[in-house]
Structure 1
């Protein structure tokens, strides 16, 4: 590489590191920052001469995984450090779990060991083998859930950068993601990551359907935004009268979920009536949260006619992951 390119890469690396610290700056102690700095330096040395298929320096991958772990999932300094060095043993024969344990201690070494073992599982092929891998990963949940969470973050970044891989590997990784990693993310309660994994999985396993739905969602965005504004204006006035502390958010349903509805209901995109969702997130103490949920439901249904068949009550009976909400259409 030219000296100019090396300098630019070093600047980009320094920027990524600063962003990583900035993400969880308020929750990190001075010892946490020292640990993350040590892990960062360790990873930089271990991956010094390695590059991804895209040509990018490999070190940017573990930093990206650590940022997902810190920002999107909100894990602790031990998890961030483990994410930074998660590929060291697998990718550099000069390093071992024994080295990791000596430098970082038993906890981080155990997480990295678990991640290394899962990476070896990923190299095996075949549907029956994938099912067995899924079972083994579920068993890992009983040992340390951070191993699975960091692995899901690793897979998310790999899927976000999958375009540089050969077509055959794209399809293999995407299929694995839909079969193993998206369900795992759902099971743990990482719903936003699960949704992104599903959409990215569909993008590479069925690009025609993915692009078609994506295009139609963009075309329908104005109608969606207009409806959300109308909803917000109508409901906010009533919620304010009750002096509730709340936030209203609108979002499109995921491409993957829309595609699944089209298949299950045997309908076209135009016939799907819930292509986007509006969320009302409210603040409450534990004693009043159920009462307020039904109160907000009552306010919403004063303005908009619900379909009673479509009511989903996860307030009275929360999901196994702890998810609580009322869903109405």
Structure 2
């Protein structure tokens, strides 16, 4: 089923994100966030989430979490908006690099690689996964974008089948919550638990 995108809602959502950036970041590149938002919407325009919402609402929500709850920089928020583009669409990491620069591309690539390793089920013990994660990430913002991604997925968990809810809850308790604690993110850890 194809998502139906309401232009007024898109405009409101972009304005909400830009306002969150204005309120919570010391400075940010409005053009960078706007371009990333538009590419996110374009890339995911045919996809809907299990909730029935257009898919872009997920990366948008991840960006909002990063702006309001884990105030990072504009590069991280742009990467959050684009974090599923390479994994779920025909865009490549080179497309992201060409349009948004090396740093945004590296964060997006890092989040994609984390997802790929986790989804492969190669790592079965949480401690091994946490060590692997730390060894493969060069920029801590990759992990923080992944935290925000997981938080939004947890906040919309009710739309998944019970077996997926249970798997996500177990992964969160075993891997993400201890990581949040290690990063000194008590509120994130608390919500994850």
TM over 0.5: same fold?
yes
Task: State the distance in 2 between where 1:164 and 1:126 align.
Answer: 27
Matches within 5 A, 1:63-102: 63-92=60-89, 94-102=90-98
**1:36 matches 2:29:** no
SS of the residue 2:110 aligns to: helix
Matches within 5 A, 1:51-66: 51-66=48-63
SS of the residue 1:52 aligns to: coil
Matches within 5 A, 1:1-329: 6=4, 9-26=6-23, 27-29=26-28, 32-92=29-89, 94-125=90-121, 128-141=124-137, 143-198=138-193
Report if aligned partners of 1:70, 1:80 keep a CA contact under 8 Å in 2.
yes
Report if aligned partners of 1:140, 1:147 keep a CA contact under 8 Å in 2.
no
Deviation at residue 150 of structure 1 after TM alignment: 0.4
Deviation at residue 133 of structure 1 after TM alignment: 2.3
Task: State the distance in 2 between where 1:128 and 1:103 align.
Answer: 36
Q: Give aligned pairs, total.
A: 190
SS of the residue 1:78 aligns to: helix
Task: State the distance in 1 between where 2:125 and 2:11 align.
Answer: 40
Task: State the distance in 2 between where 1:126 and 1:108 align.
Answer: 27
Q: Which stretch of the first structure deviates more once superposed, 172-181 or 185-194?
A: 185-194
SS of the residue 1:48 aligns to: coil
SS of the residue 1:128 aligns to: coil
Report if aligned partners of 1:66, 1:83 keep a CA contact under 8 Å in 2.
yes
Task: State the distance in 1 between where 2:113 and 2:149 align.
Answer: 14
In terms of fraction of residues, the more strand-rich structure is 1
Task: State the distance in 2 between where 1:122 and 1:128 align.
Answer: 9
Deviation at residue 14 of structure 1 after TM alignment: 2.3
Q: Deviations over 1:178-214 (max 9, x none)?
A: 000011111111111110011xxxxxxxxxxxxxxxx
Name structure 2 gaps, 5 residues minimum: none
In terms of fraction of residues, the more helix-rich structure is 2
Task: State the distance in 2 between where 1:127 and 1:84 align.
Answer: 27
Deviation at residue 16 of structure 1 after TM alignment: 2.0
Larger Rg belongs to = 1
Task: State the distance in 1 between where 2:18 and 2:186 align.
Answer: 24
If asked which structure has higher relative contact order (CA below 8 Å, sep 6+), I would say 2
Task: State the distance in 2 between where 1:95 and 1:196 align.
Answer: 33
Task: State the distance in 1 between where 2:123 and 2:173 align.
Answer: 12
TM-score for the superposition, normalised by structure 2: 0.91
